[in-house]
């Protein structure tokens, strides 16, 4: 099942104050990016908006009633606590949604930096092997 166009447009509207937002595929949903490669949120194929978290901010999401992203593989339910649902209070309130998005930017930037560093290591390793 794909993300509905209506939910994608709603999410882009909720987070418009963050600036230019890019999109890309993630799992069976859509990832939302700022600053080119900083994935701060995703929309699942069930049209739920999930925000990037880490152990430092996860508790704040849980306290607001957020649930972790999960999927099923091989009959087993896998939980991804680095993605927590956008609190219900923010679903129709762009100001509140942006507050949660800004909270997600720290973990999102850290994850993007880690990914960039890994790409750089792989490129350097490949260059050494080629040279």
CB–CB of 98/18 below 8 Å?
yes
pTM metric for this prediction:
0.89
Average pLDDT across each block of 10 residues of the chain; the chain has 131 residues. List them in order: 90 96 91 96 96 97 96 90 96 97 97 92 88 74
CB–CB of 61/84 below 8 Å?
yes
User: What pLDDT is stored for residue 88 in this prediction?
Assistant: 96
Instruction: Give burial (CB, 10 Å; 0-12/13-18/19+) of 21.
Output: middle
Pair of tokens at residue 52: 């990037």
CB–CB of 17/40 below 8 Å?
no
Q: How many domains does the chain have?
A: 1
Pair of tokens at residue 29: 């949903």
User: What pLDDT is stored for residue 112 in this prediction?
Assistant: 96
User: What pLDDT is stored for residue 28 in this prediction?
Assistant: 83
Range of the domain at 35: 5-130
Residue 90's nearest CA partner among 53, 64, 60 is 64
User: What pLDDT is stored for residue 64 in this prediction?
Assistant: 97
What CATH number is associated with residue 118? 3.30.1460.30
| Cα gap 108→118, rounded to integer Å | 15
């Amino acid at each position: 099942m794909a993300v509905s166009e209506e939910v994608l447009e709603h999410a882009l509207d909720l987070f418009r104050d963050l600036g230019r937002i890019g999109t890309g595929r993630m799992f069976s949903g859509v990832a939302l990016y700022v600053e080119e490669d900083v994935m701060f949120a995703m929309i699942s194929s069930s049209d739920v908006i999930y925000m990037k978290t880490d152990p430092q901010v996860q508790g704040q999401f849980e306290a607001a009633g957020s649930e972790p992203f999960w999927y099923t593989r091989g009959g087993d339910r896998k939980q991804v606590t680095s993605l927590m649902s956008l609190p219900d209070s923010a679903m129709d309130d762009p100001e509140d949604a942006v507050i949660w998005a800004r909270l997600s930017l720290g973990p999102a930037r850290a994850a993007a930096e880690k990914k960039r560093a890994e790409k750089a290591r792989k490129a350097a390793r490949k260059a050494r092997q080629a040279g």
